[in-house]
Each structure stands twice: as C-alpha cells, then as structure tokens.
Amino acid sequence: MKVAILGQGYVGSIFSIGLERIKNGEIEPYGVPLSNELPIKIEDIEIVASYDVDKSKIGKTVYEVCKRYYDKVPESLKDIVVEKGIHLRSLRNLPIEAEGLEDNLSLSEAVDKLIESWKEKGVEVIVNVCTTESFVPFNDKEELIKAIEEDKKERVTATQVYAYAACKYAKEVGGAAFINAIPTLIANDKAFVELAKESNLVIFGDDGATGATPLTADVITHLCQRNRHIKYIVQFNIGGNTDFLALTDEERNKSKEYTKSSIVKDILGYEPPHYIKPTGYLEPIGDRKFISMDIEYISFNGAIDELIINGRINDSPALAGLLVDLVRLGKMAIERKEFGTVYEVNAFYMKNPGPIEKKNIPRIIAYEKLRMWAGLKPRWL
Amino acid sequence: MKVAILGQGYVGSIFSIGLERIKNGEIEPYGVPLSNELPIKIEDIEIVASYDVDKSKIGKTVYEVCKRYYDKVPESLKDIVVEKGIHLRSLRNLPIEAEGLEDNLSLSEAVDKLIESWKEKGVEVIVNVCTTESFVPFNDKEELIKAIEEDKKERVTATQVYAYAACKYAKEVGGAAFINAIPTLIANDKAFVELAKESNLVIFGDDGATGATPLTADVITHLCQRNRHIKYIVQFNIGGNTDFLALTDEERNKSKEYTKSSIVKDILGYEPPHYIKPTGYLEPIGDRKFISMDIEYISFNGAIDELIINGRINDSPALAGLLVDLVRLGKMAIERKEFGTVYEVNAFYMKNPGPIEKKNIPRIIAYEKLRMWAGLKPRWL
Amino acid sequence: MKVAILGQGYVGSIFSIGLERIKNGEIEPYGVPLSNELPIKIEDIEIVASYDVDKSKIGKTVYEVCKRYYDKVPESLKDIVVEKGIHLRSLRNLPIEAEGLEDNLSLSEAVDKLIESWKEKGVEVIVNVCTTESFVPFNDKEELIKAIEEDKKERVTATQVYAYAACKYAKEVGGAAFINAIPTLIANDKAFVELAKESNLVIFGDDGATGATPLTADVITHLCQRNRHIKYIVQFNIGGNTDFLALTDEERNKSKEYTKSSIVKDILGYEPPHYIKPTGYLEPIGDRKFISMDIEYISFNGAIDELIINGRINDSPALAGLLVDLVRLGKMAIERKEFGTVYEVNAFYMKNPGPIEKKNIPRIIAYEKLRMWAGLKPRWL
Amino acid sequence: MKVAILGQGYVGSIFSIGLERIKNGEIEPYGVPLSNELPIKIEDIEIVASYDVDKSKIGKTVYEVCKRYYDKVPESLKDIVVEKGIHLRSLRNLPIEAEGLEDNLSLSEAVDKLIESWKEKGVEVIVNVCTTESFVPFNDKEELIKAIEEDKKERVTATQVYAYAACKYAKEVGGAAFINAIPTLIANDKAFVELAKESNLVIFGDDGATGATPLTADVITHLCQRNRHIKYIVQFNIGGNTDFLALTDEERNKSKEYTKSSIVKDILGYEPPHYIKPTGYLEPIGDRKFISMDIEYISFNGAIDELIINGRINDSPALAGLLVDLVRLGKMAIERKEFGTVYEVNAFYMKNPGPIEKKNIPRIIAYEKLRMWAGLKPRWL
Ligand SMILES: NC(=O)c1ccc[n+]([C@@H]2O[C@H](COP(=O)([O-])OP(=O)(O)OC[C@H]3O[C@@H](n4cnc5c(N)ncnc54)[C@H](O)[C@@H]3O)[C@@H](O)[C@H]2O)c1
Ligand SMILES: NC(=O)c1ccc[n+]([C@@H]2O[C@H](COP(=O)([O-])OP(=O)(O)OC[C@H]3O[C@@H](n4cnc5c(N)ncnc54)[C@H](O)[C@@H]3O)[C@@H](O)[C@H]2O)c1
Ligand SMILES: NC(=O)c1ccc[n+]([C@@H]2O[C@H](COP(=O)([O-])OP(=O)(O)OC[C@H]3O[C@@H](n4cnc5c(N)ncnc54)[C@H](O)[C@@H]3O)[C@@H](O)[C@H]2O)c1
Ligand SMILES: NC(=O)c1ccc[n+]([C@@H]2O[C@H](COP(=O)([O-])OP(=O)(O)OC[C@H]3O[C@@H](n4cnc5c(N)ncnc54)[C@H](O)[C@@H]3O)[C@@H](O)[C@H]2O)c1
Ligand SMILES: [Mg+2]
Ligand SMILES: [Mg+2]
Ligand SMILES: [Mg+2]
Ligand SMILES: [Mg+2]
C-alpha cells in the first residue's frame, strides 16, 4: 500500500525512518498499537511521495531530510524526493524560508497539480503532518467549494486545501484515505465529512492523540470511576522541536488548547477548573518534551489527595508510531467502503475524534472498540 | 442492611465516620464509586457491631475509638460498643497490648461465640479490615475444617477463622456476606470459596484495591495498548499509619508485595523488571502516604520515554469509600443467591481478585463489567 | 517599633495574623529566619497603620479584612482601620473596584496627606506589599522629583509615590525605613537610593525572595560548585491568589520574569537556556502554589543528569515570615544610620537585591553575610 | 603525578576513561569541581596501577575492563594491567568469583607485596573505590597494628588493610595520599588518622559525596536558614549497578544508611523524622539511578509546604569527577606536609568528613572553605 506524506518534518521523518527500520528487521515495532495484528502488515507499507514548503527541503531526498533528525537513516529513503506542496501562510512567522505551489498558481490549479502527482505515484493514503495552523472551519460544503473555486487564498489553510484535493482525487480514482494528524478540524468539519462521503474518501482525524493528553484521559477516568471529585488539573508542556516553536504563536496555540481541554469535560461530565496548554519552547529540550501535571481531588470523607505526574516523552515517535497503524486502517476502511469518517478509529488515535457530534471516551475503552472495528478480538472485554 | 466491622482501626473508623456523615447530609459521597446509583442506598447501611483485639479499644464505643483518628465524629456512633474478637498473633510484634476470645476458648467455642453475637444483632454483611497477616492458604476444604475443629491455633490466622465463622453463620441464617479487604487469601483460597458456596456465603476479596496499585494497572494498560515496551517499573510507598508499621514486619510485607506485583504481569502478559513494595514507615507522614513511581519504556523507533508519578494519597478513606459499595453489593449478591465469590465485583474493588484462577484486568474495563453485573448501564461501552 | 502596611492583601494579612499569633504564644516563629536572635524581639513589633485602595477594604478593620484570608484571626487586629492609599492604576484590569487619594488630590497633596497620617501614628517602618505593578524606573533623582511636583500621574506608580513620600517623611522625622517587597525597582533605582541617603531613609528591596526562585539559586549553586554544566532550566509556577491573577497581565508579568531570570546568570556566570516565569492562574489552587522545575545538566564524562523538583508552597506566609525580620532589620539600620540601601540585607531577603550594581549571590552564603551585618555569629563560616 | 586505583569497577573505570578523554581534549572537564583552577593540571594526572579481586578482571588491561562499562575507551588505557589485590570477603554473597593476595599469604606478606608494587610504579596517590564493606572501626592504633601482625583476617576489611599498607608505604617513601571514597571509616577512625600522621600519609575520607545526599544537605540548609521546621524527610534511591546490588546485603547497607542520615542532624541541629536509605536494586536502571525525595515543613503562620525532588543521576561519573580533584589535592597536601586528614577537603567531597569529631556543614559553604584551603579565591565570600 502506497503512502504520501504532507510535511516532511520531525514526525514525518521519524515515521519514515522507523517504518523502514522495522521493515529491515532492525527494531521491534514498539509504539505501534496494533503492530502485527492487522491483516495488512507493516512490511506492506511503502512511502511513495513527500511534500513540503520549506525551501531547504524541496528537491532533497527524504533520506537527506531525515538525516537532520536522526543518525541511522535507512538507505531506502534515498529514492523519494520531497516535492513542493501548498503553503498558504503555514510557516508565517517562523524562521524558515517557504514557497508553495500557489505562489504561481490558482488554488484550483494547485489542487490539480497535486492530484496529478498522486495519480502518477498511485498514492492510496495521504498523511497530513504539516505545521499546526490557525484556521476557521467551514461546516458548509458549498462555502468550502466556493472558497477554492474563487481562489480565496485568505479563507483557506493548506490542510483544508489538501483535504479538498484528497476528496477530488478519491472521486477520480475510486477511493483514498486522508489521515489528518494535526489540529485543523477536518474530521470534525461537516463540510469535509459530507464531501468525503460523496467522493469515496476516508478521513481520520483530528490531531493525533499522543503525550500528556490521552494519558490524562485515562488518569481522570480512573478517578472518575471511583467518584473522586477533581478540584483542579494543571498540565504544563514544554519542548524544543519546531512544533513547540510554532505553538508560541498565540493563534496556533489556541487550536491546540481547545483540543486538549475538551477531553476533560467529555469524560468527567463536568468541567473541573483546569490549566492545560502547550506552555513553552526551549530549544535544548529537543523532541523529548517535559510534561508536568498536578491533580488535586476529593476522596472519601472529604480527604484531599494529590497526584503529580512528570514525564519526558519523545514527541515525534509517539505520533509516528500511531501513523503506522492509521495508514493501514485507512486502507482497510477504503476496502470496506466506509467513506466519510470512522469514529471507532478516531476515538483511539485522535485527540479530537470526528465527527463533530461525537465525544471523547476513555482511551482504554476506545482501544477495545477499535479492535472490534478492525476485526480483532478485544483484549479484556 | 446491617454491617459488622472486624478491626476498628483507621479504615474501619473512617468508614464508620464517613458513612454517618453522608447519611447526615454533611458531605458528598465522593470516593464511593457507585454512590447513589445502586438500588440499595447509602442511607440504608447501618453499622451494628464492631470487633477488635486491641485492649485499649475493647469495651469502648465506636465513637470513642473514632475520635483517635478524626475530629468530627457523628454522635450516632456512640451506640455501638467494640467487642472482643479472635486474636491469633494478629498484633504480634506491634506495640499494642492484645487479647482474643481464643485466650480462654477453643477455636470452635470462639467461633460459636461470634456467631451468637452476629445473630443477636442481625448482621448481614461482615467487613474484615484487621491488621495485615502472615498466613498460609488452605486450598483444601477438609484441611481447613480439621484445623479449626482440632484447635490448631498455630495453623490458622484470625481472618481465616473469621471467614470460617462467616460460613457457619451464613448456613445457619440462610445467607450472609464476608468482605475480605486484606491480603490474606480468602476469595483466592479454594477451601473457602467451596465452603462458602455450600453455606450460602458471599465472599468478596482479596485486598482492597486502593492507592498506587490500581493506578499503576491503568497506567500500564495505557502503555500496553500503544505497544510501548516497559523497561522497568519502580514503585515506592511510605506512610505513617499502623498499617505501614505492621508492614515493616518482613512476613506481613510479603503478603502485600505479592499482590502488588502480580497485577503487572496479569495485564502486560510479560513481567517487566519491577521493584514494587510498601517500602517504609515514617510516623509523621500519617495516613496521607507518599508514593513515587518511575516507569521507563521504549516507544516507536527505539525512543526511551519516562514517567515519574508522585502522589500524596489518603490511605484509609480510599478503602473506606470502596467499602460503602462493597457492603451493598454483598447484600445484592445474597439476594441473588450468588454464593461463593463474584469475580465481576472483585475485579474492580480488589488488588487480588478471586477466584484464584482469574486474573487482573485493567480497572477501567473492570468498572464497566461491574456496572453490568450490578444492573447498571455501562458508562462508555 | 511601629509598622505601617501598604496593601492589606494576602501577604499583608498573613503578616498581621502570624505576627499577633506569635506574640500571643499561639505558634512558633517558623518561617522567620532570624526569629528570636535579633536584639529587637518579635514581641516589639506593632502594626499601627494599614493602607489599601480596594473600596471593599477601606474603612474596615484589619481584623475584618484578615477574616477573608484566614480563620483564626487574633482580636488585637480589631483596633486598626484600613485607610485610603494612592492608587494610580494599581488595580487596573483586575475585577476590583478601586479608589485612591489622588482621585481628588494632586500627587503632592496626596503625599502630604500620607505623611500626616504616618506622623500621627509614629510610624517607623513602612512595608510595601501592594499589587505587582508595571513601571518605568527613574534612575535620575531630579526627574523623579519633577514628576511628582508636576503631578505627572501617568509617569509614576503607586510604589514610586509611596517611596517618595517615605523619603520626605524620613527627612522630617529624622529617620524611617521603607521595605519594598514587590518587583518595582526602588532599591535598584539610583534616583530613590540617592534621595533616601539624603533623607535619612533606609530602603530594603526589591521583591521578596520566596518560592522557587531562591531555591533555584541554591540548587544551581550546588551544581555550579561541582562544575556540572546546565543544559537548561524550566520553572513553572501556578497559583490561585490575586497576585497570580494580577500576573496574567502581560505587563506586570514582565516585571517578575526579569527578576526571576537574572538570578540564574548572576550565579552561574553564564546564562543557560531557561524558561522561568509565573505561568498561570487557577483559582482553586489558592495560595498554596504549585511549582515544577526541570534541570538537565552534564556531569563527568559527558553523562546527562536530570533533576525534577515539584513543590506545593504557601505563597503569602513565605513572604510574611521574611517581613517579620525585615521590619526589625529596618529599625536596626535606622539606628545605625545606614541610610540609602543595605546590600547585605537585600542579598538574602530580596529576589533583586539593590543597589543596581550589585548582583545575586548564593542564598546560603548571603545568609551568613546577613548574620554578620546583624551582629550575629555566622552559623557555619 | 602517579595514581593507583583500588577497585577497577564502575567508578574506577569512568574515572580512568573520563580522565583520558579530558587529557585528549575530547570532552570538557564537567563534573570536576575545581577543573583547571588548581596548580596541578588535569593533564598531569597519570594512572599507573590498578588492583582488583574479581577473577575476570585480574590480568586484563584497564582498557579491556573499561569496555564493559563504556563504548569510547581511549587507547592509552591499554598499557595498565589490573593486578590482584587483597580480598577479605569484599565480594562475599555477590555473584562474582574472587581471589586475593591473602589466599596464599599472611596479611603482613600481602601488605609488603602491595608496597613493593607501588614502589616499582612510583605511586603517589592511592584511590580506594572497592565494593562497599561491612566493617568494625578500630579507633585504637595498637589494636589495628596487632590485627595485621597477628594475621587476624576476620577482624579487618580490605580497605583497612589497604589503608594500613598506605601508611607503611608513605613512611618508607617519605609521603603519599590515600583517598577513601567508600563508607568504611578511615578518615573517621582515630587509629588510622594517628598512624597516618606518624607515617607521612594524607588521608581523605570517608565516602564520596555524590547523589542525593549532598543535595539534601543544601536543600535543608536552605530551609533551615529560613527557620522552616522540617516535619519529615523521605529519600529513596534505586539503581542497577553492582554497588546497588552489593547494598541489598543488609550489613553493607547499614554503613551507607548511617552516613546518609547523619548529615541531616549535623546541619539542622535537631533530627527530624527521616527515612533515608539506598532502597533497592533493579538491573535495567543501570548506573543512572532514580532518586525520590519528599520533604514537608512548617512555614510561617503554621502553613505546611511540601517539596518533592526526583532525579535521574549517573552514579559513577558523579564520584569519578570528584576523584579528579581529590588526587590532585592529595598531592598538594603531601607537598604541604599536611599529614593525617584534612577536614577542609573532606567537608566538601565526603559524605562523612573526617576526622571523627568534625561534623557536616552545608556544602555550599564547605566549597568556599575548600577553595581557601587550596589557595584559590572564594567565589562569593
Ligand atoms: N506528538 C506529536 O508530535 C504530535 C501530536 C499531535 C499532532 N502533531 C502535529 O503534527 C504536525 C507535525 O509536527 P512536527 O513535530 O513534525 O512538526 P515539524 O515542524 O517538525 O514539521 C512540520 C513539517 O511540515 C512542513 N510544512 C509546513 N507547512 C506545510 C505545508 N503547507 N505543506 C507541506 N509541508 C508543510 C514544515 O516545513 C515541516 O517540514 C504538527 O501540526 C503537530 O501539531 C504532532
Ligand atoms: N488503603 C488502605 O488503607 C488499605 C488498602 C487495602 C487493604 N488494606 C488493609 O486493611 C487493613 C486495615 O488497615 P488499617 O489502616 O485500618 O490498619 P489499622 O492498623 O489502623 O487497623 C487495624 C485494626 O484491626 C485490629 N485488629 C488486628 N487484628 C485483629 C483481629 N484479629 N480481630 C479484630 N481486630 C483486629 C487492630 O487492633 C486495629 O484496630 C489492613 O490489613 C490493610 O492491609 C488497607
Ligand atoms: N510570596 C509572595 O507572596 C510574594 C513574594 C514576592 C513578592 N510578592 C509581592 O507582594 C505583593 C502582594 O502580594 P499579595 O499576594 O498580598 O497580593 P494581593 O493581591 O493579595 O494583595 C495586594 C493588596 O494590595 C492592595 N493594593 C493594590 N494597589 C495598592 C495601592 N496602590 N496602595 C495600597 N494598596 C494597594 C490590593 O487592594 C490588595 O489588597 C505583590 O506585589 C507580589 O508581587 C509576593
Ligand atoms: N556515586 C558513586 O558511585 C559512589 C559514591 C560514594 C561512594 N561510592 C563507593 O565507591 C565504591 C565503588 O563503587 P562502584 O559503583 O564502582 O562499584 P563496582 O561494584 O562497580 O566496583 C567495585 C570494584 O571493586 C572491586 N573490588 C571489590 N573488592 C575489592 C578489593 N578488596 N580489592 C580490590 N578491588 C575490589 C570489584 O571487583 C569491582 O571491580 C563503592 O564502595 C561505593 O560505595 C560510590
Ligand atoms: Mg468530535
Ligand atoms: Mg485471582
Ligand atoms: Mg541589584
Ligand atoms: Mg566526621
């Protein structure tokens, strides 16, 4: 099965590297939830295309780009060359020189150019791991189509255009999947889900569930099941990769904060006072972010308990490992013709599981439901 | 419904106090997992008897004993007087003067004396929260009966005699429940489960699941579901209540260590290197124990992550809150005639859920199964 | 010795309460560094005046105001009534209705009104614990005098006017002390230090050294002395008192961030990458703030070590305890005629010790120097 | 200057490796407190001899042994061969095959054999980093001499014999130094200090101050200087190197526990309740031990604060870095003829600074005194 990557950054590169190393038998598939249980094997995944808008990456091989992030890069990545994607302000305010297809083309033309490239390479699953965007959702399909057709470059973000292009592409080739691992609402935007249904596109999204957020979900489920009353939750995150740098931008940060906070309410049923956000950027921390949580709750007879959780978590591998499942599940959904979006998949893998009307549930339970959707025996149910 | 307490210590007292305060509308039922969802209400619970072997407690009212642990003790506890229980080395090596019914009676006589007292008070559910014991399980019903009948005081522990008495009592009155909240194997001892089945006794056990252990269960489930490979688990516990003091005794400690460690293997399927034990006693820490956990695991592409969890957790309220459910579930099981032991209940509330052949499962899932057993809608399934 | 409080908030109130409780023999003088070692005893301190600009506090007794912060307030605080101070935007953007002497008076008139009140009450030491301000230092004495005389209300902050008034007052009565426990530069502003010298005023400042900052100072000194190379320092702070609320205001926050970060460089000699700021406000955390620090450093042979420090620290008592020393040291400095500012005192008690040209030193050493200045034997030197 | 190592284990090997790498300009001298400030340069240190009793190490080059602990071992270590030392139960109960000079020789003969070897190589400073021992101090010089002369192998430990041999050697060659970095009391044993004085031997000891203990010293000094009253201190340590394995032996553990706990009392003047010990061994933690501390204290007005400190600290590099200073300071002391022991050096570098009548002081202050002793300007005094 053939995969295209949008955004050859840290996540995109660790995904590429780890995948090849597993295929080479160099490492165990740790961090890949369903590893070798799915009918489609990890060995079947093939990266065939990569797109970026960072001038210093376009035209380079994926191998060369990966070398910036990791030492032991498999040779097989020398065959894929990073192509120019759609930019639309994605890297605005970041210390990176950018260029995009839309610099010289209308949005419609840029979309067609992408589709052409995907057809040529036989792409089946498109993985979106671009820089976090500041965006406005559409909700209305007609409005979305109009924005693209009328070339309203200020109204749309790169991810929205990519998802639109994926719809058009799926319609033409008879089926494809778009994995939206970033906060921009796609699986939670009715405009896209509707268009996808009509177009034979599978969408998974939004925002890959890694790090402190899904752990918090399970920890508060644990408290909630014992009817312990949460007084407050504090969650700090600080990291040194470009994603944290991008999040110092207030507008982008809001996209993340929203996703992270909604989980709490979804699970508890009430919204305890909380302070949950990606808090800062500090370069030498690198990709191994530092998280710190403080939770105070009321136990039986009014007793006050406190949990303090600290962690050092490698940010990019966490998402990259999930992607190894998601591309395969995407292919399975295409085969089953479950177009639109699939809540059972999103509920486990995404911070903000689409569709919009569906809520977060405890991850530990979402896992069992996912297994059943994937045709596997639940582990403990 | 009428309850007897075996061991009017910290847990027994906070259970008594918190229960009365909830009944008085003074506090919310936080820490009681199924609070007001069960058909039997918290208001229906009535403590009618209490037994201890600490000389300084016998003959005192439960109110007076509770005052040692907490300030605001409800007046209603003035009506119950602590009676003499069976001792059998329970307090050996502890700085407490002890006496027991068996000081002047044979085991059989002591058992009959207890049964008489329970009958008189109409006891339905017996809660065992005595000091942690060093014990040898029976597994063979005949051997157990022989040990009691032949008055082999060195072979049996207090809990084993109490559970035996509960069987005999249940048989005579047509039904009763015995909640074993301490590590001594009762629900995991075939001798007791078999005898209970024949005697109309419901047994729940063993060892109430509070503190770091069930939290660890859910945290490692979280990691396991993402196929993150645990390199090691460290878990320290230190507290200042008499239970931690009792655990400085190497023999008693082993009972706890076993229970705590088995969870890890049950859930992961493999046994990662671990150091998990109640580690120390330090008086000024009091009942609000300090826990510290360190978990290192391998994520995708060989990345090493680390979680450090610290907590200050009120030990006794945690178990006392569970007891408020357990006594009601015990009564429900009697009514349903589910004699022997009930895995669905044990799996959520107990560190070492009986029967012996059943394993630990993630708590978050055990919760949903418990709800279904109790006739409640699952929350997320 | 007679003390006036500027700002009857959390710190001002805990100072008042704790002081009276120590005087009553109710509690030990914990948190007071030099407790009973100074020639002036804690019993000799008398609070005689209090000023605030919160409408709901003006006209109330200190006892009534203190009741908002603490339960057991000594009766003796019923005798002091909170008077109206100078406002000048101190509470801007906060959900508090404010009024100030300058609402109807020129700055000069307001200053004279204050001086009159201080004379009447025989005030010797003035303690400034108002809300954190956004400010511009003067450095030039003439400019400062002109700003007040020409009634430039937009140029000065309340603290600057208070300090100016203290100078004028000290000159008239022959000696006084002004303890600036907040970040506004006073002891670090040449304009004020010069004016103080000419006016018989002792200034201690700036910004009381409590919480994570002085602890960080000692921890990094520890590392520095072993030549361990700090890779980065992260320090988060979150609290639920009005001071944290005030710091959500970006302008005020900058005053604090500067103070907190400068310590690192002063001690290490180099400036390691760091992220140190008061990070957030969350009401239910109350005055017992949560701090979280992460420090990574290089040890021998390139080994990477990591320290993670979490704390729950009562914010206001920490500063209030220092004030019990500072007012007495202020009086001692008056008696010794050490007008201007006293580095030896500031270096231990202040985050940003004046005068401006002096730097932070490790607190553990500053303590010994302070003792010597105070005429006490050093403890370990 | 020429150094001999007793115990080519983790510390001995990291010391050898790091030293050579610094000399080669490969790495910075991080972790070496006085790095390039001393008159004797790091480049002047030369390892000339090494002794061990592990059969699998004797006869191997230091290079070969170092390879077991670290990847990048400098070639220069190929020239030194590990020789057989004195065993005397050092490795008893450990899974290591051992042999010692005393297997075939009397103690006196073994001592002479060692001295001969040292003479041949021109050894000036002897560093003792053998396995932690269970021991009985002598205090009486005559008794010590008798024990050796009468070949009482059960009475003495390897370290005691090594220190005795060092005395005899120093007397013969006119000066030498013995650095005792392990808990066995040598600098705190009057018998040895007296004998050293008469024999031109410099002793530094006992037990290198690394890890949680000296950090605790500085943290509690910080609290103590603010008169905060410590309610209790908990300190857990767990590691996976052979030293932690050796400490699972109850007898050896006691040596460490004593050293670690005494610091608290020395500094505070009172002994707060504490639980401080090396707690456990878990192989996969390796040399980067996990420490966890919990300190509760009373602040002003009775407020209860809490500090929780977690750390991952590379055990062996921490001590190895100190040794780079200690061997040079040893040589300086020889030159100054300061025979016996030197408290100023011990107070900074040792957990249990000799001589016996001297106590621990805050490390931050000990550092300044050390500098003065070494002829360097204090940094902040
Ligand atoms: N654990 C995680 O790392 C995690 C979890 C959830 C979501 N995410 C999301 O994944 C995304 C990628 O994270 P990262 O750490 O790899 O960031 P990164 O900054 O390392 O990589 C982003 C890459 O996308 C490229 N890019 C930006 N805009 C583009 C566009 N319009 N078209 C094509 N390429 C574009 C950038 O040049 C860069 O190479 C972020 O949006 C982040 O929010 C990451
Ligand atoms: N979170 C928790 O506190 C928790 C969790 C799981 C299990 N437990 C178990 O609950 C039990 C009670 O804990 P605790 O903190 O109340 O201890 P505790 O020491 O405060 O109380 C035990 C009480 O039992 C009494 N006792 C001892 N032997 C007895 C006997 N043979 N008959 C009657 N009374 C007897 C003692 O005198 C004491 O009053 C312990 O076994 C503990 O292992 C507690
Ligand atoms: N540990 C600490 O709490 C700590 C440490 C260092 C510095 N500080 C500083 O101490 C100050 C007080 O902190 P807090 O926690 O008591 O805050 P707070 O908000 O509880 O109290 C401030 C009080 O000052 C009053 N006030 C504001 N402007 C005033 C003015 N112009 N004149 C008179 N009164 C005025 C407010 O109405 C309020 O009553 C802050 O500036 C803070 O930065 C506190
Ligand atoms: N941070 C630290 O690592 C630290 C701090 C303070 C003290 N120490 C002490 O340093 C010592 C060494 O620690 P390590 O981690 O290197 O331990 P290790 O077990 O790795 O090394 C000890 C070495 O000494 C050898 N040995 C044992 N007995 C001997 C004898 N009688 N003669 C010669 N060699 C002998 C062993 O075979 C082994 O090679 C321990 O006593 C420890 O308590 C270490
Ligand atoms: Mg949704
Ligand atoms: Mg079982
Ligand atoms: Mg200064
Ligand atoms: Mg000593």
Q: Are B15 and B323 in contact (CB under 8 A)?
A: yes
Query: pLDDT tens, D17-45?
Result: 999 999 999 999 999 999 999 999 999 99
Average per-residue pLDDT for chain B: 95
Please say whether the beta carbons of B24 and B45 come within 8 A: no
Position B54 scores a pLDDT of: 98
CA-proximal residue: ligand 4, atom 9 (nearest):
D182
Q: What is d(CA A11, CA A131) in angstroms, rounded to the nearest whole number?
A: 10
At residue A99, φ and ψ (nearest 5 deg) are: -150, 155
Inter-chain touch A296–C310, beta carbons under 8 Å: no
Rounded to a whole number of angstroms, the distance from the CA of A215 to the nearest CA of chain C is 19
Residue C6 pairs in a beta bridge with C51, C128
pLDDT tens profile C21-41: 999 999 999 999 999 999 999
Q: Give the residue on C whose Cα is nearest the Cα of D17.
A: C301
Domain range list for chain A:
2-208+317-374, 212-313
Q: In this complex, is the C-beta atom of A309 within 8 Å of any C-beta atom belonging to chain C?
A: no
C307 with D307: Cβ contact below 8 A: no
Atom 29 of ligand 4, residue of closest alpha carbon:
D130
CA-nearest residue to A211 within chain B is B305
Residue C321's pLDDT is: 98
pLDDT single digits (tens) A88-125: 999 998 999 999 999 999 999 999 999 999 999 999 99
Cβ pair B77, B31 in contact under 8 A = no
Q: What is the pLDDT of residue B122?
A: 98
* Whether the predicted pLDDT of C261 surpasses 80: no
Q: Is the pLDDT of residue C255 over 80?
A: no
* Cβ < 6 A, ligand 2 pocket: B 6-12, 51-54, 57, 85-87, 90-91, 129-132, 158, 181-183, 207-208, 210-211, 241-243, 315-316, 318-319
Looking at A226-314, list the stretches that DSSP marks H as alpha helix, in order from N- to C-terminal side. Answer: 242-247, 250-268
The answer, yes or no, to whether residue C252 has pLDDT greater than 90, is no
Set of chain C residues whose Cβ sits within 8 Å of the Cβ of A264: none
Option in B225, B227, B381 nearest A30 (CB): B227
Contact A40, A86 (CB under 8 A): no
Probe target for ligand 1 pocket from A68, A130, A291, with the most ligand atoms within 8 Å of CB: A130
Collect all residues of chain B within an 8 Å Cβ-Cβ radius of residue A372. none
Which of ligand 1's atoms lies nearest the C-alpha of A318?
1
Spacing, Cα C131 to ligand 3 middle (Å): 4
Counting from 1 in the atom list of ligand 4, the atom nearest the Cα of D54 is 37
Q: Read off the pLDDT band of B267 (50, 70, 90).
A: confident
pLDDT category of residue A263 using cuts at 50, 70 and 90: confident
pLDDT tens sequence across D345-379: 999 999 999 999 999 999 999 999 999 999 999 99
D284 and chain B in contact, CB less than 8 A: yes
CATH no. for D2-208+317-374 = 3.40.50.720
Residue closest by Cα to atom 37 of ligand 4:
D54
Q: Which ligand is nearest to the CA of C351?
A: 3
CB nearest to A310's CB, from C232, C238, C308: C308
Which residues from chain C sit within 8 angstroms of residue A283, using beta carbons? 273
- What's the per-residue H, E or C state across D22-58? HHCCCCCCCCCCCHHHCCCCHHHCEEEEEEECECCCC
CA D208 – CA D313 distance, rounded (Å): 15
**Are B12 and A301 a contacting pair, CB within 8 Å?**
no
- Which residue, by CA, sits nearest to atom 31 of ligand 4? D87
How far away is chain A from the Cα of B168, in angstroms, using its nearest Cα? 33
Q: Model confidence over B286-299: pLDDT tens digits? A: 999 999 999 999 99
Q: For the domain D212-313, what is the CATH code?
A: 3.30.360.10
**pLDDT (tens digit per residue) in A41-88:** 999 999 999 999 999 999 999 999 999 999 999 999 999 999 999 999
User: Do residues D86 and D101 make contact, with C-beta atoms less than 8 angstroms apart?
Assistant: yes
Using CB atoms within 10 A of its CB, is residue D35 exposed (0-12), middle (13-18) or buried (19+)?
A: middle
Is D280 in contact with B306 (Cβ distance < 8 A)?
no
CB pairs under 8 A between A and C: 62
Which residues, in sequence order, are bridge partners of residue B179? B127, B204
- Domains A2-208+317-374 and A212-313 are alike in CATH topology: no
Cis check for the bond before A272: say yes or no (omega within 30 of 0).
no
* C45-59 confidence digits (pLDDT tens): 999 999 999 999 999
Q: Which of residues 334-373 of A touch B (CB under 8 A)?
A: 361-365, 367-368
- Cα end-to-end distance, chain B, whole Å: 31
Q: Do A275 and C238 touch (CB under 8 A)?
A: yes
- A280 at interface of B, judged by CB pairs closer than 8 A: no
**pLDDT for residue A247:** 86
- Which residue among D34, D309, D322 sits closest to C309, beta carbon to beta carbon? D309
pTM for the model stands at 0.96
Ligand 4 contact via D9 beta carbon (within 6 Å): yes
